[in-house]
A and B are shown apart, each in its own frame.
Chain A
Amino acid sequence: MSPSPSPRPNPSPSPAPRLSARALVRRFGGVTALDQVSLDLPPGRITALTGHNGAGKSTLFRCLSGADRPDSGQVLLDGRDITRLPEYTRARLGLARTFQQIAVFPGLSVADNLRVGAEQAGRRGRLEADFAVARTLRLLGLDHLADRHASGLPTGTLRLVELGRALSAEPGVLLLDEPAAGLDRAESEQLAVLLTALAADGLAVLLVEHDRELVDRIADRVLTMSAGRILPAVSTSAASTPAPAPSDGAADDA
């Protein structure tokens, strides 16, 4: 996450990818959902994944996060082969994800939702976890809701809580499955600013999103999937698109 104490990645033109997929194949019965898909997520970049329903986006997402296993191919996190590792181990190694349908822990308070993410990522020390949680709460503007139960909060807030759970683990890679679904315009705007800034701070972001406007605004790279393959790049870098928010020093670093 942004105020991460971890060393900043070297913002060279082609930094080593944080997360890579190598020739992933996934078949369901006779259907090939992923057909030799390869993908690199470099640090400091937002990569968007688009495509029609059934193109294989969700399968790719699940294979990357560990919710599903590819039939062949490799998933590498910082060069380490994590193809066979279960989802929770990947999460502990710094691979965070959110869900298309909001996934929070309704029986826990907002702060505890975030704390689960921080603790499981290895911040076992109470104080260390406390600070990770407090920082994330502050960052997302959730301070005043810290002790509220997550059940019954409005959709936009719940999306933030879920994002906070992922961010409080201070991940290196963030996989987002339609994070703007159900958000109103202002909330979507807030999300765009946040994601751009997080990426600027070195986070590798993969965004599966239908909101084309959001994708065009914040993504550095747009990949389109069709019939289980990633189509040759046609989209240009978002560098040509005007940045949404006034950029400042930190954002310019990346």
Chain B
Amino acid sequence: MAAPLALQLAVAGLSVGSAAAITGIGLVVCHRATGVLNLAQGAVAMATAFALRQCVVVWHWPRALAVACCVLLLAPGLGFLMDVLVFRRLQRRRAGTAETLVAGLGVFVLLVGAATLLWGTTPYPDAPVVVPATPLGTPDGLLITLDTAVELGLVLLLAAAVGALSRWTAFGTALRAVVDNRRLAELSGIDADAVASTGWAFGAFTAGLTGVLLAPALRLDPYGLPLLVMETLAVAVAAGLRSLPLAIGTALLLGIGQSELTMLHPSGAAQPLLQAVSSGLFVVALLAVALLPGRLAAGLSALPPAPTLSATTAATVTATATSAARTRQIGRRWAAALLLLVPLALRGGDVRSLLPGPGLALILLSIVVVTGYGGQISLGQAGYAGLGALLTGALAGGTIPGLPALPAPAALLLATAVAAPCGLLVGWPAIRRRGLALALTTFAVGTAMSRFVFQQPSLTSGLRLDRTGAWADDRLFYGVELALIAAALLAVHALCRGATGRALGAMRDHEPAAYASGVDVPRLKLLAFTAGAALAALGGGLLGLGAQAFDPNAFDPVLGLLWFAAAVGLGADSASAAVLGAMVLTVLDASTTAGVSAAAIGLLALVRGRLVHGRRAGTGGSTAPVPPEQPPLPVRLSPFGERLVQRLKGVPE
């Protein structure tokens, strides 16, 4: 007798649910021990899965030995290294959320880049199976397999071990003390570094475990698995990054729910939607916890009000204080302009390989506007870029009901105009969110766009991105790209100078003080996100037209993370650095093997985080006044003011 389908599906869903639960446990424990939400979790999972495949498939190691080496040595080792090389420094000087977040993304991008370098981007279908799906028995006709039983057992075992450890051992007490007040804990003789290292190692161990458990069900490539694990962030966030039972419960429920949804077969338009939701239930959950007021808003926004990225970026939108900074800026501008012009002198095939440059530059520029100028973390710009490409294709292909097929230039501009208000999708939530909460929200929105829009065949069929007429010529199209990027730079310059630029800087540097100074912060945030969406959409549209096709993978959310790391690593608040960086990355992509650019970005984000801080500390130490660059205004105080100044000068020192 067969068990009811619903029950069978529930058991099947337990497998994915367990994997998510293991990652959830790791994220929660690591956050408890270090106060950092490990965004590199997915990349560690991917690296471990690749390493296991290398050991088993290429080097023919015994499976058990390989699993032990990868999960028990390599993954925790990676976590330990991340702590020692990256996060320990940040925590010692109490770096803000934004800084640790960028560091986590740096590690993420570095690992993705390294994996791409080592193993390429072609997916491997042969990731070794760790626990075979041997049938264990069929109580009441319900098929139970070994892998499900082992995974569920691992979840319970880990949860029990962590629970016991934190409740009944001295280590657990130390852990709670370090989380509460690191400095005080150290004064009490607790080795806070050891506690943090243990947290990182354990988090990475769970990531590795998740990776090797999930990999056989997927085709292993450097982007897919990290994204899948990033989506399970939903589980940890739903648990407020604190409660293990809640994280495990959410993970299992989502796994089961995802499985149960496959039972429904609605007809018509609901069918593809349901399929998308059932395959992306974790994304739906991430979107829900990110957008709904409640846990995320309460738990994560309440982090210490560390001013946003201004802490890591030294220069300013409106004023460059030193002549050295000004020289650097002029140098960057010339270099960017030169690099942009070089392709015009190249042969046809070379021009084509550099066509993505200006599009990418526009996307990085959008991050400069939103994050560098406005101080709002946005990990979802890839979503807007994809939207730009998709809308351009749809408008040019005439797939939007009631609209005729437009010529490509008109389609591109209209797509940009339509995508801009979509920036409000993250702009509204951003009004009340900061730091980590905002990062997760923007990432969730970007991922949802990718999952539920770009990867839906019904929405991406009939797109037309081929260039006809004058635009068919690569060199001429590149000229058009140059004109557009020049226009965009001018628009950004006009927007971000003067009073608006200063207000943006004020919002970025200290939001409460900006409010108190009369800055309309909500309106300014909406403006920043709208402008960012328009720039990214224009860039995405150009990327699509350059490639003459819509490729959802070109706007993968993982690429969005990579672009964010690049823009921040290059100096989040410099438009010329963004353009320069985009061209260098395009040249790297065109001339070297895949992965070099990603690895370079990862290193840049990690190194830059430290360098900038050093330079900042340097400027802070000097008290020598800088001579004013303009003669002071001939100010005349009122007689009262003059008397007051005299009186203040007369104050005894």
Contact = CB atoms under 8 A, between A and B. Distances in A.
Interface string A169-190: 1000000000000000010011
B495 to A, nearest CB: 15
A36 interface: no
A129 B633 CA distance: 12
Contacts of B513: 99, 103-105, 162, 165
B648 A141 contact: yes
A134 B502 contact: no
Given A108-B509, A116-B506, 13 more contacts: A2-B638, A66-B515, A92-B518, A99-B513, A109-B321, A116-B505, A129-B499, A137-B635, A141-B645, A145-B625, A169-B518, A186-B652, A250-B643
Interface stretch (B103-111, B312-320, B397-405): B312-320
A178 to B, nearest CB: 15
Nearest to B510: A103
Contacts of A209: none
A197 to B, nearest CB: 5
B520 A88 contact: yes
A106 interface: yes
Interface stretch (A10-18, A39-47, A149-157, A216-224): A149-157
A115 B651 contact: no
Interface in B601-653: 616, 619-623, 625-626, 628-629, 632-633, 635, 637-641, 643-645, 647-649, 651-653
A245 interface: yes
Contacts of A117: 517-518
Interface of B: 307, 310, 313-319, 321, 499, 502-503, 505-506, 508-510, 512-521, 573, 616, 619-623, 625-626, 628-629, 632-633, 635, 637-641, 643-645, 647-649, 651-653
A194 interface: yes
B516 A245 contact: no
A194 B644 contact: yes
A233 to B, nearest CB: 29
Interface in A88-107: 88-89, 91-92, 96-99, 103-107
B374 to A, nearest CB: 12
Interface string A213-254: 000000000000000000000000000000001101010000
19 contacts: A2-B641, A67-B515, A91-B515, A99-B513, A105-B509, A105-B510, A107-B310, A107-B509, A109-B321, A112-B505, A119-B502, A138-B645, A144-B625, A147-B628, A148-B321, A165-B513, A193-B647, A194-B648, A250-B639
A92 B517 CA distance: 8
Nearest to A246: B647
Contacts of A23: none
Contact of A134 (B499, B573, B635, B639): B635
Nearest to B375: A107
A143 interface: yes
Given A116-B502, A130-B633, A152-B621, A139 B641 contact: yes
A116 B510 contact: no
Nearest to A250: B640
Nearest to B643: A248
A7 to B, nearest CB: 14
Contacts of A66: 515
A93 to B, nearest CB: 9
B75 to A, nearest CB: 39
Contacts of A139: 637, 641, 644-645, 648
Contacts, number: 182
Nearest to B309: A107
Contact of A197 (B317, B623, B644): B644
B640 A152 contact: no
Contacts of A137: 635
B632 A146 contact: yes
Given A134-B633, A139-B637, A148-B625, A108 B319 contact: yes
A143 B318 CA distance: 19
A8 to B, nearest CB: 10
B503 A107 contact: no
A91 B518 contact: yes
Contact of A108 (B316, B647, B651): B316
Contact of A97 (B316, B516, B633, B639): B516
A28 to B, nearest CB: 14
Contact of A103 (B314, B512, B633, B643): B512
A111 B625 CA distance: 14
A183 B423 CA distance: 44
A149 B625 contact: no
Contacts of B519: 88, 116, 120
A69 interface: no
Contacts of A119: 499, 502-503
Nearest to A153: B623
Given A116-B517, A152-B621, A190-B648, A104 B616 contact: no
Interface in A113-138: 115-117, 119-121, 124, 129-131, 134-135, 137-138
